[in-house]
């Protein structure tokens, strides 16, 4: 869990110093005051990942070009500094050379936001990112395989753009893609198998109904990447792009046996998105050996009291939970949240 948080030139905060209760708390405030930015900072400090941007520079307070996040997380003092020289990472005062080393013994996080509906309605990329965020937290090898796959994919894609692609070079990159892509597909398939019963249980509990949910990992070219690449050879040359592999795979979601994006109502889709995130948390707890921190960005206003309470009931009681909201009206209907500490966010500062 996260016990302190210090920010320097992060988003709208020039400076911030917070003591954080073990149970978590609720950040309230008007729009655009910095509530989401605080949760984002916790996510970056813990996982070097922002749910809002892939570019670290975006998080530097405008005009500064740098930011710092520090805090005590899972009993370690961690620091992330970003500047034009790049990232500087330390744990307990010792510099960690490279993101993988920083993340190896980092904490676990589940991010829940309004945009989670896109997990059901959006493109496969959003579902792949959901699996990748989970896989990378559970296994450093997952992140490594994905990084190497991406580098080889970029090189192959550049070659395919050429008018007369160098086939020997493409073949060499495909060997790397096959090695790491096969590893990724196997890891993602295992994750999906483990997630399915957890997501189904969460779906039933949050919806309060028996709604059979099935999850399946769908590799874009079939199970064997080598033969998928062979089959796609002519198409890839024609389209001048890489069309099969883990970067095109998908996670299939079915409710009552029907595609959730097409047949589920909006309410069912929202519940399903929550169920996927709750399953992510349970799996992190089971396989990661510690409770994740739940970062819940503005999701409660969208839920009716029944689903809100079911959601809170499903979350592990001992987990640290951070919630942002513009209004506290709904809090009295959610007894499990009433005892959480409240913080008011406004004009670049936070008061408890
Ligand atoms: N790099 C940056 N530098 C300075 N300000 C920024 C930067 N990035 C975002 N902001 C501003 O920070 C403010 C806070 O944004 P944030 O999304 O954290 O607010 P919020 O309180 O969660 O808002 P809402 O309730 O509308 O979701 C916004 O005005 C935003 O434009």
**Rounded mean pLDDT, 74-94:** 96
- β 109-113/293-297 pair status: parallel
**Rounded mean pLDDT, 330-342:** 79
ipTM of the prediction greater than 0.95, yes or no: yes
Task: Tell me the pLDDT band of 165, cut-offs 50, 70 and 90.
Answer: confident
Task: Tell me the pLDDT band of 338, cut-offs 50, 70 and 90.
Answer: confident
pLDDT for position 135: 97
Q: Kindly state if the Cβ of 32 falls inside 6 Å of ligand 1.
A: yes
pTM score: 0.94
Q: Is the dihedral of CA 155, 158, 160, 163 positive or negative?
A: negative
The Å distance, Cα 217 to ligand 1 centre, comes to 36
Q: Is the per-residue pLDDT at 71 higher than 90? A: yes
pLDDT for position 305: 83
Contacts of 208 (CB under 8 A, 6+ apart): 306, 310
All structural domains of the chain: 1-108+290-352 (3.40.50.300), 119-289 (1.20.1050.90)
Q: What angle do CA 319, 119, 58 make, to 5 degrees?
A: 80
The Å distance, Cα 244 to ligand 1 centre, comes to 38
pLDDT for position 333: 76
**Rounded mean pLDDT, 285-296:** 96
The Å distance, Cα 37 to ligand 1 centre, comes to 6
Nearest CA to ligand 1 atom 8: 11
**Rounded mean pLDDT, 39-60:** 97
Mean pLDDT of the chain: 94
**Rounded mean pLDDT, 92-97:** 96
Q: Is the dihedral of CA 216, 107, 8, 101 positive or negative?
A: negative
pLDDT for position 282: 97
Q: Is 266 annotated as a binding residue?
A: no
Residue range 177-202, pLDDT digits in tens: 999 999 999 999 999 999 999 999 99
């Amino acid at each position: 869990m996260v016990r302190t948080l210090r920010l320097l030139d992060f988003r709208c905060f020039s400076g911030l110093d917070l003591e954080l209760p073990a149970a978590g708390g609720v950040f309230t405030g008007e729009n655009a005051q910095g509530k989401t930015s605080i949760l984002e900072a916790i996510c970056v400090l813990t996982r070097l990942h922002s749910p809002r941007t892939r570019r670290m520079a975006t998080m530097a307070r405008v005009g500064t070009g740098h930011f710092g996040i520090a805090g005590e997380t899972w009993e370690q003092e961690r620091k992330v500094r970003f500047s034009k020289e790049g990232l500087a990472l330390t744990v307990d005062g010792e510099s960690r050379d490279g993101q993988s080393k920083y993340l190896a013994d980092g904490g676990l996080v589940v991010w829940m936001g309004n945009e989670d509906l896109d997990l059901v309605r959006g493109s496969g990329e959003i579902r792949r990112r959901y699996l990748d965020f989970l896989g990378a937290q559970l296994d450093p090898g997952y992140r490594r395989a994905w990084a190497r796959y991406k580098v080889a994919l970029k090189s192959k894609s550049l070659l395919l753009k050429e008018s007369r692609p160098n086939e020997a070079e493409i073949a060499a990159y495909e060997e790397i893609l096959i090695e790491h892509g096969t590893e990724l597909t196997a890891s993602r398939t295992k994750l999906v198998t483990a997630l399915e019963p957890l997501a189904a249980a969460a779906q039933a509990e949050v919806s309060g109904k028996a709604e059979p949910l099935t999850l399946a990992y769908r590799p874009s070219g079939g199970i064997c990447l080598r033969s998928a690449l062979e089959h796609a050879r002519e198409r890839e040359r024609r389209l001048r792009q890489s069309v099969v592999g883990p970067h095109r795979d998908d996670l299939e979601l079915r409710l009552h046996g029907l595609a959730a994006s097409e047949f589920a109502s909006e309410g069912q889709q929202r519940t399903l998105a929550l169920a996927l995130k709750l399953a992510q948390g349970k799996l992190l707890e089971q396989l990661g050996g510690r409770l994740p921190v739940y970062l819940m960005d503005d999701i409660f206003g969208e839920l009716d009291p029944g689903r809100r309470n079911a959601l809170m009931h499903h979350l592990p009681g001992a987990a640290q939970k951070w919630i942002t909201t513009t209004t506290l009206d709904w809090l009295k209907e959610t007894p499990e949240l009433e005892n959480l500490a409240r913080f008011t966010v406004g004009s670049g500062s936070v008061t408890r």
